[in-house]
Amino acid sequence: PWRSEHRQIRPGHSGGSGGTDGGAALSSQPPPSSTVNVEWRRDGIPISTNRQHRQPNGSLLVGPLIKTDKGWYLCVATQEQERDHRYIYLSVNEGRSPLDPNSHPSDSPFPKFSIDRSSSSLLELREGQTARLACTVLPPSALQSVSIQWTKDGRTLTDSRFTQDSDGTLVVWALRSEDSGLYICTVSSPQQLEQRQLQLRVQADLRITTAPNNIEVSEGSTALLPCVVSGDNVSIRWSRNGVPVRPDGRNIQVSSDGSLVFNKVKPSDEGTYSCNAFTGIYSVSATAEVRVIKKTALDNDIPPDCVDLPELANCQLIVYARLCSNLYYSSFCCASCTKHQRTDRFKRFG
């Protein structure tokens, strides 16, 4: 694997093979073959200025040098499915030549440092919370001589919700699900570069978006209690009067979205139903009352083929207007007219 390299050059000096007056050549050794693609970056951005030129052998020629050219340069080499990289630090010295015997760049106070890796590299939080991604430099005294930079999935952080504390900790305010990703803390000095990777997972807020409502259903009919939940890896459980509901796949079923379905409702299905949704240590719930309207003896005596056709007539209005004696109207409202006629008969003879 390639290692980081440190180059110290002053303005106007040619720093390596292939350089010109006032330039520096940064080598991507070993020289790439024709099948290797070489790309140079600085601060995560591809190099494209007119003072920086990639040479046929993969080296980068920078010149004429100015003070702001100093910093870390990244060479990325790709060949088919293989990928490798190398960091090179370019120092631009002012005034004295590095050949001057009175010049001692090595005397600069750049102490060695490391990044504390004792804490977990995986953080799992929920939307709306605040994340603190630590990048602790050891020893603390080295903080004065290093630069700390954070990236997410290889990109520089620009959102105002991202702030960085003086100790290098990255703070992400009001977390969103899209904040999930791989964060890299890069700590660098002219002599050294260290990185630490942290994985952040943001779970969507757990809430019931469609809650069940109180319903009245007729015995033998079909009923639905919705319970649609937002969130990640959510489990849904139903209970009736505090006792878990056990779907049998026929009369009681739970749909793919968590809703409870009743087929052929029975009087014993009546009660208070609770939808309980949970993920990890978080949970939400909602309740609804189910009332079953029992069939009467009159209902049981009505032939199965004697039904109302509500799409063709308003049967309640036909009964109220006493039009059941009319064969035309009663043909659309067989069930309602039959119940009404039998009720009248029971009232006369009861």
Q: Is 114-203 in CATH node 3.30.930.10?
A: no
Residue 244 · residue 252 · CB < 8 Å: no
The answer to whether residues 109 and 145 touch, using CB atoms and an 8 Å cutoff, is: yes
140 SS3 class: helix
Q: Which of 287, 276, 245, 243 is nearest to 262 (CA)?
A: 245
Overall CATH class of domain 5-107: mainly beta
CA 86/CA 200 separation, integer angstroms: 26
The string of pLDDT tens digits covering residues 122-161 is 998 888 899 999 999 999 989 888 999 999 988 888 899 9
Q: What is the pLDDT of residues 16-47, one digit of tens each?
A: 333 334 556 676 555 545 578 888 888 777 88
- Each residue's pLDDT tens digit in the chain (350 positions)? 444 444 444 443 333 333 334 556 676 555 545 578 888 888 777 887 667 777 777 788 787 778 788 888 888 888 887 888 888 888 777 654 443 444 444 455 678 999 999 999 999 888 889 999 999 999 998 988 899 999 998 888 889 999 999 899 999 999 998 999 999 999 998 888 999 999 999 988 888 999 999 998 888 888 999 999 988 788 999 999 999 999 888 889 999 889 999 988 999 999 999 999 998 778 899 999 999 988 765 566 678 888 889 888 898 888 888 899 898 988 899 988 888 877 666 555 44
The pTM is what? 0.45
Please, are residues 188 and 157 in contact by the beta-carbon 8 Å criterion? no
The domain spans of the chain are: 5-107, 114-203, 207-293, 298-349
| Topology alike, domains 114-203 and 207-293 | yes
Q: What phi-psi label fits residue 35: left (phi over 0), alpha (psi between -120 and 50 degrees) or beta?
A: alpha
Q: Select from 271, 301, 276 the least CA-distant residue to 286.
A: 276
208 near 278, Cβ under 8 Å? Answer: no
What is the tens place of the pLDDT at every residue in 96-110?
A: 444 344 444 445 567
* Residue 30, preceding peptide bond in cis (omega within 30° of 0): yes
Domain spanning 207-293, CATH architecture = Sandwich (2.60)
Exposed / middle / buried, residue 161 (Cβ in 10 Å: 0-12, 13-18, 19+): middle
Residue 188: name the closest of 299, 73, 78 by CA. 73
